[in-house]
Structure formats: C-alpha cells, structure tokens
C-alpha cells in the first residue's frame, strides 16, 4: 500500500492555525468505517476523536479524520486504479466532476493531480507514487484546453442571460447569488488552467490565486465585491453586480485568448 503525506498549506506557504496534516493511502480495497475508526484509535494513545466515512463498494475513496494531540489529521484513502484512471483522463483532456458533499463545487478528476504534484511519499515500495508524480509533473496541454473551453462556455451562459436580468428586477437574491458563485467558480477554473496550475480544491483560493501570474488586475477584490456587495437587496446593487460580472468575464476571455491551446 503506497502512502504519501501532503501538508499543502505549508508547502505553498498558506498555512495558518487551522491547517491540518493530510495523509494519503492508496490501495485496491478498504475496511469498513467502524473498523478503520477502531484500528486508528489503537495506533497511538494520543489519537482521539476519530471519525471514518465514505465506505462504499466498489471502493473509490474514503476517509478517516482524527486528532493526534492538538494536530488535526485527515487520512484520505484512494483506489489506485481510480487514481491512474484520473491521470490518464486528464492527460487525454477529459474533465470530470463528481457531486460530493465534502466539497462545495464538486470534486474534479484533476484535483488528484494537484495532490500528487505536492505530495511527499512516505512509503512507496513499488515506486508507484514516484511514477505518478512524474506523470503529473508537467501540466497536460489537452487538460488545459479542455478546462478553458468547458468553463468559459459555462461562464458565458449567465452574465447576459435574460433570466438573470429578470431575477435582478424582482430582487431574487437567492437566485442571483447562486449565479454569481457559479460564474466566479468557472472563471477561477479558467485562470488556473491558463496559468498551467492544478486547481487545488475550494479552500483558500484567494491566497492561492495571489501566486498566479496571469490574472486580471484586482481580481480578488473584484470577486469579493461580487460575492459581498453593499446593499445587496437593492435592484441598483444587483444591476451593478451584473455589470461587474460581465466585465470580469471579458477580462478573463482576453487572458485566455493569449494562451495556446
């Protein structure tokens, strides 16, 4: 069973007091949740508050979270076949997203490439982790093209859509907020691909984006303004929000057009 550890926040200088330690295990099978929790508590007397989840058959992924003293540890178990499949898909330019409860925008197959790229192998008897890391060391050209094409198309759907405009006039804030979040997420996906950088997942995106080279000026501030506008319930504020969203889309379209796909 290959194993790797990834303290992504620390590796990227994004750590804070809430950062945890991510431990990855790769195998072809996994024990049931209760049994994993029981065995975890036997490993060390300082381990407490263990919780296991995700056991299903056929096994794809599961997890066991626990505290070791004051350190929060997330142990993620992944099927080796599934990881290799995701790598092959991404190299071929196939983008997939799975709807899961533990991530706000869904789990993309290319997120595992981000994990592997920053992972430090702890135990790799067959050299599998090292081979995977070599495969994902360079951002796949076809993956970049697919992400830009698919997420730009999705981002273009809403900003000038008459359903969005109608929602603004009736002050349907629940609906318009969902639209903003969806478009912003798609544009963020485009920016990561434009910068040949693997999307790392939903957390701390503003801090990660700050390290990207090709982004619109004041991008983080613009996103914050879109997500947290003043006087949200007024029609005027919602109209201005739509204009800002349209302008942001145009800026990112220009940046994306300069990338060879």
What is the rounded CA–CA span in Å between residue 216 and residue 258? Answer: 13
Confidence (pTM)? 0.88
Domains observed in the chain: 3-136 (3.30.460), 141-257 (1.20.120)
Confidence class of residue 3 from pLDDT cuts 50, 70 and 90? low
Cβ(215)–Cβ(191) below 8 Å: yes
- 255, pLDDT greater than 80: yes
Confidence class of residue 8 from pLDDT cuts 50, 70 and 90? very low
Model pLDDT for residues 42-51, shown as the tens digit of each residue: 999 999 999 9
The three-state secondary structure class of 61 is strand
Which token pair is 67? 């505290």
CA proximity to 59, closest of 78, 72, 44, 75:
78
* Average pLDDT of the chain to the nearest whole number: 90
Which token pair is 33? 């949740």
Place of tokens 């290799």: 84
Q: Which of the two residues, 18 and 24, has the higher pLDDT score?
A: 24
What is the rounded CA–CA span in Å between residue 155 and residue 153? Answer: 6
CA proximity to 233, closest of 182, 167, 179, 188:
167
Phi-psi region of 93 (alpha: psi -120 to 50; beta: other; left: phi over 0): left
Cβ(108)–Cβ(94) below 8 Å: no
Q: What's the Cα-to-Cα distance from 18 to each of 41, 72, 107, 119, 178, rounded to whole Å?
A: 22, 8, 22, 20, 27
- Which of 87-101, 113-127, 160-174 bottoms out in mean pLDDT, i.e. has the lowest? 113-127
Q: Which residues contact 115 (CB under 8 A, 6 or more apart)?
A: 6, 8, 22, 24
- 7, pLDDT greater than 70: no
CA proximity to 243, closest of 222, 258, 257:
222
What is the rounded CA–CA span in Å between residue 43 and residue 33? Answer: 16
CA proximity to 56, closest of 36, 37, 33:
33
Q: Which of the two residues, 253 and 225, has the higher pLDDT score?
A: 253
- 229, pLDDT greater than 80: no
Model pLDDT for residues 160-190, shown as the tens digit of each residue: 999 999 999 999 999 999 999 999 999 999 9
- Which of 13-27, 70-84, 162-176, 242-256 bottoms out in mean pLDDT, i.e. has the lowest? 13-27
């Amino acid at each position: 069973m290959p194993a790797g550890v990834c303290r992504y926040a620390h590796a990227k200088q994004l750590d804070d007091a809430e950062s945890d330690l991510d431990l990855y295990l790769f195998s072809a099978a996994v024990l049931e949740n209760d049994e994993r929790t029981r065995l975890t508590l036997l490993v060390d007397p300082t381990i407490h508050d263990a919780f296991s989840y995700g056991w299903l058959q056929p096994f794809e992924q599961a997890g066991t979270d626990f505290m070791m003293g004051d350190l929060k540890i997330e142990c993620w178990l992944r099927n080796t076949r599934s990881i290799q499949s995701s790598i092959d898909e991404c190299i071929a330019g196939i983008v997939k997203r799975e709807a899961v409860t533990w991530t706000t925008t869904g789990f993309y197959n290319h997120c595992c490439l981000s994990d592997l790229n920053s992972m430090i192998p702890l135990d790799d008897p067959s050299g599998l982790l090292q081979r995977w890391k070599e495969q994902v060391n360079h951002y796949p050209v076809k993956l970049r093209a697919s992400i830009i094409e698919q997420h730009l198309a999705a981002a273009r759907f809403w900003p000038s859509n008459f359903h969005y405009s109608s929602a603004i006039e009736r002050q349907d804030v629940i609906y318009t907020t969902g639209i903003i979040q969806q478009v912003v997420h798609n544009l963020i996906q485009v920016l990561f691909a434009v910068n040949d950088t693997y999307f790392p997942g939903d957390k701390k995106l503003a801090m990660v984006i700050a390290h990207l080279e090709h982004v619109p000026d004041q991008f983080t501030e613009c996103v914050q303004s879109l997500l947290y506008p003043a006087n949200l319930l007024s029609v005027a504020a919602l109209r201005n929000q739509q204009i800002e969203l349209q302008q942001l889309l145009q800026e990112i379209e220009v940046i994306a057009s300069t990338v060879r796909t």
